[in-house]
Every structure is written in C-alpha cells, then in structure tokens.
A = this chain, B = another copy of it.
Amino acid sequence: MYGVILAGGSGTRFWPTSREQSPKQLQNIVGSGTMLQNTVQRLLPLISIKNFYLATNHQQAVETLRQLNSYGFSPDHLIAEPCNRNTALAIGLMSKVIINKDPDAIMAVFPADHVVTNSENFIKILKKAETLAQKGYLITLGIPPTRPDTGFGYLQQGSEIEDGAYKVEQFVEKPGLPKAEQYLQHGKYFWNSGIFVWKVSTILEELQSYAQNIYSQLDTIASSTQNAKGRYAYLELDETGNKIFSSLPSLSIDYAVMENSSRVVLLPANIGWNDVGTWSSLDDVSEKDPKGNVINGNVLAQDCNNSIIQGQKRLIAVLGLEDIIVVDSPDALLVCTKERSQEVKNLVESLNKNDHLEGKQPSIVKKPWGSYTILDSGPSHLLKRIEVFPGEALSLQSHQHRSEHWTVISGSAEVIRNNETFQLKSTDCVTIPKNTKHRLGNTGSELLIVIEVQFGNLLDEDDISRYEDRYGRI
C-alpha cells in the first residue's frame, strides 16, 4: 500500500502556535512529535516509509523533509505544489506519479494534521479497506460522531455491500445544529474524515469520468515534475507544469468524484479520530489535570477549571479561570473563551488586515539552512539568534544598508568575507561591513548558534543580494 499525505494546512486556527508560514501539521500540538510526524509514525506498521508520498507547498517543503528525515522519507516523494488547488488535483497528480511506477498500486490518502488515538484499530480498518480497494471500490472512512458537530460534512450509511462495508446513501454538507443532533441520534451518519483508500487506477478512472478538465492535464503535469533547485531533492513542477496546475479549478475530491461515483464504499471507523480543528478540541485529545485543564509549559495555575493553558519557556500565572484558552508564544499571545475558539481564524484575518506580521510569520523563522529569531530591535539595530544545521550554509550575499556583527555561541562556523575564509568557534566573533560579500556556514556536526547584531538605518530582509545559494533562491 502507498500512503499519500496531504499537507496543505493554512495555520490560522491554531494561531499563535501555528502561522501561515508554519502551519499546524508542522507543530507539536498534542503529545510528542509534530502532527505530521505522528501521522507517519502511526502508519508505519502498515505502510513502508519508501511508499509514502506527500504534497505540500514550496514554503513548507524543506521543513517537511527535515521532520521526516529520521524516518527515511525519500525527498523526491515530496511534491511542492505551486499553489493550493484542493484535494482533487493533489490526489490526481499523486495518482499519476505513483501509477507510473506501479500500475497496480493501492493508495491511502491521509490529512497530515489529524489525531488517531486507536492506531491498532486504524491499521485493521485500513487493511480491510485495502481488500475492498482491490475489488475496485473507493473507500472512505466514516467516523461515528460523538457530538452534534456542525463543522464536518456527514456520510449517510446505505445498504451493506459486504460485512461492515456500506454504500453511501448521501453526502451531507456541514449541517446546522438541529440536523447535526438528528444525525447523532440516528446512528447511521458518520463524519467525513478525509481518509480514503483505493486502487490508483480506480481513482484515475473516476477522475476521468467526473473531472475531465483536471484528469486531462494530469499526464502533462506529472511529466513536468523535476528536482527542485538546490540541495533539497524534492519535486517541483517546471514552468509549464506550474502554469497548468495553477489554471485548474480548486475542487475537493469529495465534490469532484466521491459524490458522483457509484463505486464509493463507507467503512465506519471507530479509531479515536479527531481533526483537532480548534484549540478547544485539545479537550478531546490531551491529558487533563484533575480539574479538567490541559496545561503545558511553565505554568502556575490556581483554581482554574476546564481551561487550556499552552505556555512555553515564559512564566504564565493563571488564577480563577473557567473555560478560558491561553496560548503563549515568544511574539504573540492569545486569550479567548473556549466557545469562541472557532473564531481564532477570523482573529488572524484581522491581524493580517491590520498588517500585524505576527499573523503570518512565526517568531522562529524557518529557512532551508536553519532558522532565525529576532531577540531585540531598536531604531538602528536588530538582534537575531541564528541557527544553522550541520552541513548547511546561508547564501553568499551582501547587504547595501547594513553591517553585521556575529558572535558564535556554539558549533563550528565557516565564514567567508570577501576573499577570506576562516573558521570560528564558540566565543569568536567577526564583523561584516556593508556591501561586503559574505557567507555563514556550519562545517561541524552540531547545530551552529550565532548571535547577529545588524546595524543600519534600513534593516529589512529584502536588503539582500545573493551571489550563490545552495537552495535555488537566486
């Protein structure tokens, strides 16, 4: 079986932990590991890591590879889409890529940012789905609802096809509360999980039947894939591929295929599934203290009940809270009521409208070579903590409006400054004047940490001329 992970989350509902540039699946929201890592981890008993494929965007590609590196995920199994065109196109493209290697392949599709607490049952059901897929069915996993949720689409169970597998009577859009309550009572409605299993040839046939405009371009797009420029060998599309991809309609696989096909089969899946859609959903998937609080980080809580307090290093003291959510991050803080946690995404929209960078940009800015964090700023200086991964290096660059002063905290730095190249270690420092070609690299085997002080009257990420770059950013 092949596993296809769709990792296209937008990062607004778990703000400030997630940001547009650092979405939910790449964060540790529940337990240990990021949601993406947990998604792969729980499937490894069934799907070999070499059979995993993943679709995401350019911005997340390198961080995604880093998170999956230790599992042995193959970089060229990641496709960086030029833009988000929803699941129909992503699944279609992945199907083409996989069928070109294995015409009989069966593939399972998984969102990257859901929780499944009963992995054992999950694997059992996926195996059953595999058997059904062999017979030409499109299997969709339906989750028995545990509350009248109005945030999901529902699948109505139809007649039994074989033991425990059903036709879908109808697909229901997100219902209002009265309907959702009926569905919960009724017992034959299931949440649409977005987890699918099918033969690759089957889904392609159905795309051909019901989404001809998408299907007709898949060959061209698939053959336009190429290795990304630079050190990271994920796949991207060439210019033609990007153009076609971007011109296609944004359709969900449910809308494009599942609601139309007669080959759809519903497998009820009691697997402890949760889409972790809002901060308040941590209530369902996290460990609680005796007063019903979900607390992480450096927190002192007195007389709080049923609250969610997500701290980090900074001290948070909370007193007398009831059904309140507090999420702290180095550069932004969220405090809201649980019942309003659905609206956090609107809050982020407001932030973006009001030019609050914190709406999109995380406090730790990930780069292909590592990351930087702004620690202090003033009218003519900016202080950064820079981390460079072993073997990586920033581009050979210069700045028109700023000089930089680096102090090495730990690790081994190789610094190029004009025609000099020198090695720096902990406690060493160097100054890079304006308009000077320079490069910072990590030649050691440990993380390189550098404190950078920028001086100048215009301190802007865009003030950069790149002469050489390992990651194709010229």
Chain A residues near B (Cβ < 8 Å): 15-16, 300, 302-303, 311, 314-322, 324, 326, 328, 331-337, 339-340, 343-344, 346-347, 350-351, 354, 356, 358, 375-376, 378, 380-381, 383, 385, 403, 405, 407, 409-410, 426-427, 429, 431, 449, 451, 453, 455
Contact = CB atoms under 8 A, between A and B. Distances in A.
A330 to B, nearest CB: 8
Contact of A449 (B314, B320, B378): B378
A337 B317 contact: no
B350 A335 contact: no
A383 B431 CA distance: 18
A405 B429 contact: yes
A385 B381 contact: no
9 contacts: A300-B356, A315-B332, A315-B356, A317-B347, A318-B336, A321-B324, A378-B410, A380-B409, A409-B455
Given A326-B333, A376-B385, A429-B431, 19 more contacts: A16-B317, A300-B347, A300-B351, A315-B333, A315-B358, A316-B333, A316-B335, A317-B335, A317-B351, A318-B336, A321-B336, A375-B375, A376-B451, A378-B409, A380-B410, A380-B426, A383-B451, A426-B455, A427-B431
A314 B363 CA distance: 11
Nearest to A336: B319
A80 B71 CA distance: 64
A328 B333 contact: yes
Which 9 pairs across A and B sit closest by C-beta, in order of nearness? A320-B340, A319-B336, A320-B337, A315-B332, A375-B375, A315-B358, A316-B333, A318-B335, A381-B409
Given A356-B300, A375-B375, A427-B403, A334 B317 contact: yes
A427 B455 contact: yes
A311, A321, A322, A337 interface centre (most CB from chain B within 10 Å)? A337
A320 B343 contact: yes
Contacts of A318: 334-336
Nearest to A343: B319
A319 B323 CA distance: 13
